[in-house]
Amino acid sequence: MKAAILLSKSTSIDITPEELTAEWQKLSAIDGVEFLFLPYDRRPTGQEVSERVPADTEALFGVWIQAEYLNEDFFARHPKLRYVATLAHGYGEIDFEMARRHGVTITNTAYGDTTIAEYAFALLLALCHRVELHSDYVKNTRWWEPDAPKYMYSLTPRIELHGKTFGILGLGKIGLCAARIAQGFGMHVISHSLYVQEGPAFRDIEQVALAELYARSDVLSVHAPLTAQTRGMLNRAAFAAMRDGVLLLNTARGQLICEPDLIEALKSGKVGGAGLDVLCEEPPIGPNELLTFPNVLVTGHIAWLPKTSRMRQVSLAIDNFKAYLAGRPVSVVNGTF
């Protein structure tokens, strides 16, 4: 089987391209697989990907599962394609029936459940305690001078999490990890997903209707996929249904939130603060008022980037491919054949 790997430049300071390449070389241990690296320095367009991927490719790793990349033209150009793996949890809005019609299995790679959940809590703790702000206050003050300010002093209101309600929108693998962390902080966890999650892992998580999730959550952490149904679901009506002062976390996809409505909710105090690792436009190429609020933390879509998870991303993608070749595909996002 001929495989192609879209290989991006490393975006972590602690991982080298050579390390990533060495991890991908483990594909060579699979009998009958030939693979080709297709490196890129910036995110290519769908047309560029279609033109670069050889026409006889049978397995493709690293393509974005979005309509821009996977469409009728792409499948027509690659008639032998049978397997596509995104190197991410999330995926966009494509015609999965179209992929099935072309006999293509599409998988995602759920490598970052723990690290993304941890990052959501890093944002939450930063909102609640503003540790870096207080550290800078201590480090940058000349305490020995007679007019030095107070030392044992809190610059911002502080929020204790114990006993509060942690709401999860999207109780998948990442949401489940976030639930476990929240329970460790002594929070009560409630959640809402499109389908009720069953099994022992979900037994002590209260699953509620969406309206109840909004009404009861002190903290709302977003871990839902981006689909036609979820795009912009966190809008004016949703914010109006939430508790006053709710803290909002989003480490999923920026387009889940209607940003003008969030700005309005922040100004009114309905939303007391937000920790956002994702935006609707990444990077923002024009003014974005969300970047001006002192109670909003924004980072550059980096929740997934620790070295351990980045390497696990590759090893798990290879394991998923082995399962597919063995006739037992896992993490399939376009249904069964």
Q: Does domain 2-111+306-325 have CATH number 3.30.70.60?
A: no
Residue 52 annotated in active site: no
Say yes or no to pLDDT of 10 above 60.
yes
Domains of the chain, residue spans: 2-111+306-325, 113-298
The token duo for 78 is 């690659």
Q: Which of 192, 253, 310, 312 is catalytic?
A: 253
Span 294-311, pLDDT tens digits:
999 999 999 998 999 989
Which token pair is 296?
Answer: 């909003």
The answer to whether 253 is a known catalytic residue is yes
Cβ distance 221 to 178 under 8 Å? Answer: yes
198 flagged as catalytic: no
DSSP codes joined into one string, 142-189:
-TTSTT---SS--SS-----TT-EEEEE--SHHHHHHHHHHHHTT-EE
Residue-wise pLDDT tens digits, 69-103: 999 999 999 999 999 999 888 777 788 889 999 99
CATH, range 113-298 = 3.40.50.720
Least confident of 131-135, 283-287, 294-298: 283-287
> What pLDDT, on a 0 to 100 scale, did the predictor assign at position 186?
98
pLDDT at 42: 86
Q: Do domains 2-111+306-325 and 113-298 have the same CATH topology?
A: yes
